[in-house]
């Protein structure tokens, strides 16, 4: 944490980080650090086995591949209120920050020009974002005013410029004076594959996640207590109705989520490396000082990150 703060101060002094971005990042880091310490220090139940794997405390970032990142950037900024990090926009990709509300960790999205085919046998077929200070009626009205026709309900679905399915979930009543939609956090990720149970068991083992609400074709893995503000991973069979909406059949997306990074509690590089080795990953791909990549049983890229991996510093 000390090195992370020193790096932010250095960036502020050099002028590559604005004072507002510095303050936002410090508030985000403090909130997520506190959440991580609380999660990591929570006492295990009497007689419980020692914790293994990792404890996710949020979605760190989502990597989104498409033909023209600028179109994706403009959509997510104008429709979901994400903030484009100007210093992160290099003409091939950018970083879009969103969240956090008080006490929650922020996330970011990386729209990038990259191939939209994959060898992985699983996909993130849609992402649901919780919209701050809005009810379903406000979300629908705001989208309609922008010429976007949402489907479904109460969680509304829209398509981005590359026909990627985006779900918007109300996160409270509309506040007086609110004029635009704003993504507060990831509500859930929808992950589809051939064998949903096998994938769910892997994510449960790696991230210490309980499985709830299992049906013949899907299961939910919440990151925190049921009904709380933490995201969930919904793992579904490919033949399930992956998008619950009223209307025509889903479009075929021309974009791809090629990896997801999960923030874990109390990240320590050597401890993470040792635990990955114990879990069957002796040679994880290190990504800087605060992150590793591995692949799940379906070949999907999974990134495990600490709080110091941010849109600004990552």
The structural domains of the chain, with segments of one domain joined by +, span 2-42+51-305
Q: How far apart are the first and last CA of the chain?
A: 14
Q: pLDDT at position 171, please?
A: 83
Any bridge partners for residue 237, and if so which? 193
Local confidence band at 11 (pLDDT 50, 70, 90 cut-offs): low
C-beta of residue 268 within 8 angstroms of C-beta of residue 304? no
Structure tokens at 134: 């809005």
In percent, the amount of the chain with pLDDT more than 70 equals 75
Q: Quick one: which of 131, 114, 107 has its CA closest to 64?
A: 114
Which pair of structure tokens corresponds to residue 222?
């919440």
Cis amide leading into 100 (omega within 30) = yes
**Integer CA distances (angstroms), 112 to 39, 167, 253, in order:** 33, 21, 15
Residue 215 has pLDDT above 80, yes or no: yes
What mean pLDDT comes out for the span 73-78?
Answer: 98
> Out of 3.40.50.1820, 3.20.20.370, 3.10.180.10, 3.90.950.20, which CATH number does the structure's domain 2-42+51-305 have?
3.10.180.10
Q: Which residue has the tokens 């049983």?
A: 297
Average pLDDT on 114-137 reads 94
Higher pLDDT, 238 or 7: 238
Q: How far is residue 296's CA from residue 209's CA, in Å, rounded to a whole number? A: 15
Residue among 69, 178, 190 nearest 131 (CA): 178
Name which of 29-38, 84-93, 142-151, 174-183 the model is least confident about: 29-38
Q: Is the pTM of this model over 0.95?
A: no
């Amino acid at each position: 944490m000390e090195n992370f703060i020193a790096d932010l101060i250095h960036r502020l002094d050099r002028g590559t980080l604005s004072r507002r971005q510095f303050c936002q990042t410090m508030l985000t880091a403090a909130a997520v650090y506190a959440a991580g310490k609380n999660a990591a220090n929570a006492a295990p139940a009497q007689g419980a086995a020692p914790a293994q794997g990792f404890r996710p405390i949020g979605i760190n970032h989502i990597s989104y591949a498409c033909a023209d990142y600028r179109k994706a950037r403009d959509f997510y900024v104008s429709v979901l209120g994400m903030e484009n990090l100007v210093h992160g926009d290099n003409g091939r990709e950018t970083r879009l920050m969103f969240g956090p509300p008080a006490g929650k960790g922020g996330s970011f999205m990386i729209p990038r020009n990259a191939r939209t085919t994959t060898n992985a046998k699983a996909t993130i077929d849609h992402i649901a974002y919780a919209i701050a200070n809005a009810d379903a009626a406000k979300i629908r009205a705001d989208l309609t005013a922008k010429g976007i026709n949402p489907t479904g309900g109460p969680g509304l679905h829209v398509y981005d410029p590359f026909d990627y399915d985006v779900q918007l979930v109300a996160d409270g009543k509309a506040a007086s004076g609110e004029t635009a939609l704003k993504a507060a956090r990831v509500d859930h990720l929808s992950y589809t594959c051939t064998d949903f149970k096998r994938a769910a068991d892997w994510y449960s083992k790696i991230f210490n996640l309980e499985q709830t609400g299992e049906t013949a074709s899907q299961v939910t893995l919440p990151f925190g207590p049921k009904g709380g503000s933490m995201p969930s991973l919904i793992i579904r069979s490919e033949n399930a109705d992956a998008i619950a909406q009223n209307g025509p059949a889903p479009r075929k997306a021309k974009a791809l989520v090629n990896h997801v990074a999960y923030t874990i509690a109390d990240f320590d590089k050597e401890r993470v490396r040792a635990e990955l080795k114990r879990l069957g990953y002796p040679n994880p791909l290190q990504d800087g000082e605060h992150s590793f990549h591995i692949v799940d049983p379906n070949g999907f890229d999974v990134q495990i990150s600490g709080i110091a991996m941010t849109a600004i510093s990552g």
